[in-house]
Amino acid sequence: MHALIDGKGLAAQMRSEIKQRIDEYKLKYGREIGLAVVMAGNNAASQVYVRNKIKACGEVGIKSQNYCYPEDIPQSELAKHIKALADDDNVDGILVQLPLPPHINADEMLRLIPAQKDVDGFSAENVGKLCTGKESIVACTPNGVMEMLRHYNIEISGKHAVVVGRSNIVGKPMAMLLLNANATVTVCHSRTKNLRGECLNADILVAAIGKAKFITADMVKQGAVVIDVGMNRDENGKLCGDVDFENVRDKCSYITPVPGGVGPMTITMLMHNTLQAAVLRRKL
Ligand code: NAP
């Protein structure tokens, strides 16, 4: 028997709570909350992501500014624009949509975003705070997973959590959040020996790999909580996760579907982080 974790429903509920808190913020401080979204070039997937982020801003009452620069913008010019947003008091959050065109050093551009406006939680300062257990802005996707676990009252403390994937945007911050919540955490990656054996030890298994239906039923312990971060296309072009959902679901106590699981939570957490950035800045 398994229970589905309804990310779509939780995201909708959280967005209405965030909207209410943003309305209160506006009344209290007499100002809007602003998110600047910067992109360069015509990456089709980025355009869809940015459109969805701007739409979500509209839903919760965040004032979004969308800056879309041509593919051949010189790095120095893009840097100038990002620095201006960093200095602009009306901008609470800055998001640079990746990937940037190949001639631009993305790390250098991200370093121009002050930690207080780093709503993606990618900056060294925010990552360092996360690792040392201090309040910080946390990367949206793993932050959304933690919200899901909290909402469904899934116990983390003392549990064995296995995170498959060690990217800076998902796997590593996910592992750190679970560790901070007192799980015993194993992080697996492409060089892990006996991945199946590691996964079979998981009370909580998080898949952030980027390979369609990679986690199969023989890798999942009976009664495990399975969180599927993956967003892939299957052989028929249908959206699917990193977990072989149909065959794994009956072994789980809880499982997230794809679509409708982690995905909708990610943009919601961006709204949450932008509000958090605005509040933190007023406290400084
Ligand atoms: P990534 O940067 O490509 O990282 C993938 C990780 O998986 C790497 O650490 C890699 O190991 C590991 N891996 C690859 N093949 C493996 C194997 N055979 N066995 C064990 N580990 C393996 O990807 P990402 O950015 O973290 O994203 C992961 C997935 O989540 C993708 O499908 C992405 O689209 C999705 N995603 C979804 C959301 C959302 O909102 N739902 C947000 C972000 C990402 P190495 O480090 O050794 O290479």
DSSP string across 59-97: HHT-EEEEEEE-TT--HHHHHHHHHHHHH-TT--EEEEP
Show which residues are catalytic: 53, 97, 120
Contact 4, 255 (CB under 8 A): yes
Residue among 209, 215, 272 to mutate when testing ligand 1 (max atoms within 8 A of CB) = 209
Which segments of the chain have a pLDDT < 70?
A: 1, 284
Please report the DSSP string for 7-19 in residue order: HHHHHHHHHHHHH
**In this structure, what token pair is assigned to residue 252?**
């789980």
Residue 1, pLDDT score: 64
CA distances from residue 273 to 15, 98, 217, 266, 267 in whole angstroms, order as listed: 12, 18, 35, 10, 10
73 lines ligand 1 (CB under 6 A): no
For residue 208, give both structure tokens.
């952030």
Task: Please work out whether the CB of residue 52 comes within 6 Å of at least one atom of ligand 1.
Answer: no
CA of 26 to the centre of ligand 1 (A): 38
Mutate which of 46, 147, 167 for ligand 1? The one with the most ligand atoms within 8 Å of its CB, which is 167
| Per-residue CA distances from 119 to 77, 152, 242, 279 (Å) | 22, 25, 26, 12
pLDDT of residue 254: 98
- 241 CA to centre of ligand 1 in angstroms: 11
pLDDT at 282: 85
Q: What values do phi and psi take at 187, rounded to 5?
A: -110, 125
| Longest distance between any two alpha carbons in the chain, whole Å | 57
| DSSP three-state, residue 225 | strand
Measuring from atom 39 of ligand 1, which residue has the nearest CA? Answer: 263
Query: 25 φ, ψ to 5°?
Result: -60, -45
CA of 258 relative to ligand 1 center, distance in Å: 15
With beta carbons less than 8 A apart as the criterion, state whether 132 and 75 touch.
no
Cα dist from 61 to 5, 67, 140, 247, 280, whole Å: 27, 19, 19, 41, 18
Report yes or no: 174 and 131 within 8 Å, Cβ to Cβ. Answer: no
Classified as helix, coil or strand, 105 is coil
Measured in whole angstroms, the distance separating CA 227 from the mean position of its chain's CA atoms is 13
CB within 8 A of 75, min separation 6: which ones?
Answer: 103, 104, 105, 108, 109
Q: Which atom of ligand 1 is nearest to the CA of 211?
A: 32
46 C-alpha to center of ligand 1: Å? Answer: 18
| CA–CA separation, 60 and 236 (whole Å) | 35
Question: Is the distance from the beta carbon of residue 266 to the nearest atom of ligand 1 less than 6 Å?
Answer: yes
Ligand 1 close to Cβ of residue 268 (< 6 A): no
Ligand 1 within 6 A of 274 CB? no
pLDDT score of 283: 77
Ligand 1 centroid to residue 74 C-alpha, Å: 30
pLDDT of amino acid 101: 97
Give me the phi and psi of 233, to 5 degrees please: -110, 135
Q: In what order do the strands lie in the sheet with 63-69?
A: 63-69, 34-40, 93-96
Identify the pLDDT of residue 284: 62
Can you tell me whether residue 38 is helix, strand or coil?
Answer: strand
| Cis status of the peptide bond prior to 259, with omega within 30 of 0 | yes
